[in-house]
Structure 1
């Protein structure tokens, strides 16, 4: 007998059964409280999220960032990674340069990314162009990673098919024997196929949840050539929720 499809919830036609409404009780974001540049505003919120993660259990992985690219067919593709760089130049992440996202960005560098903190009723959206992170920055970050994380960069042919879990374990054992742990920062060299991407932003939007879905959306749009900290290179406006 075929299993009947799930039925819409009683209060929301076409909705998800058992999912309740939540009225957001965030502090919001009014113009008088917005920093003069998108970098300063983003820095404030990122630092607040990282601090909250150390004090409460409902802010896991505060630097988890969703990254959207476009594949060769024009189809969007999104995944979540960890933001490993963030300064006036924009947010950045590390990856295998042969991965699907790297191949997408090599062909079409347009990119969108989002930091979301549901329990804080905040999110930041970045839109712009991806650029490779400088090699010295990549190497400095790689050498700061735990030994196992450095090994995994060698063991995983990211985004390529694997026969089964045993194949991954075999590849791990191979690199474990190839690069034994010595306790030094350079016991595992940086792979030449491993690097990072940075979002050079054209637009940065700050979303703050409010009651009754009357959320705040403050967006900075590029008007000049300066970086995220150059207030004169951005116009600011409010979008309706």
Structure 2
């Protein structure tokens, strides 16, 4: 188990948000796995805070769909819902494709250079088997490919975090081992380098959809990614 997060003393609402962020990170990282019962009192002691900010943190986590509250100030980390995975990736296919479409049209050499650096770093981290560092760089890579659409940044960040949770729970192995993922990232960089709008949009849509199909096949092999397939079909038809 990783070291407990440090929550600095802060007044009121700010402390509740810090506690929420700490517990949320524990859930998204898998430290608190699906089905894990959690007690407000025990978690408050662990984070060295009172129950008041912990109650507010639990409320926020339930609103996000990460926990299910139970009597006696208990909660359970919500299990993965295949329909949620499908919905998250359908949204990502649509929104991230729009953001990439906007960004690639105005990509400057500085952005291309940062994408090249990020890709090289991901490959080095993959070679070293440094999964956690790879995940951080991977998130930054996707952020760079969409930075021309700041109005979508918050939505894309939230969807990315939810998607990362599914990937951590899937059994198909770490993405760093996938040559297909690496090839997609390389193609994206090429598309930005040459300002190839159609290639960039097609690559990101297929990349995200393929990830959803693979993750769902491991988490719930009897389910089909209906929404993701529909989103991909819509984009490919428009392309």
TM-score computed with the length of structure 2 as normaliser:
0.25
TM-score computed with the length of structure 1 as normaliser:
0.25
Which structure has more strand as a fraction of its residues?
1
Which structure has more helix as a fraction of its residues?
2
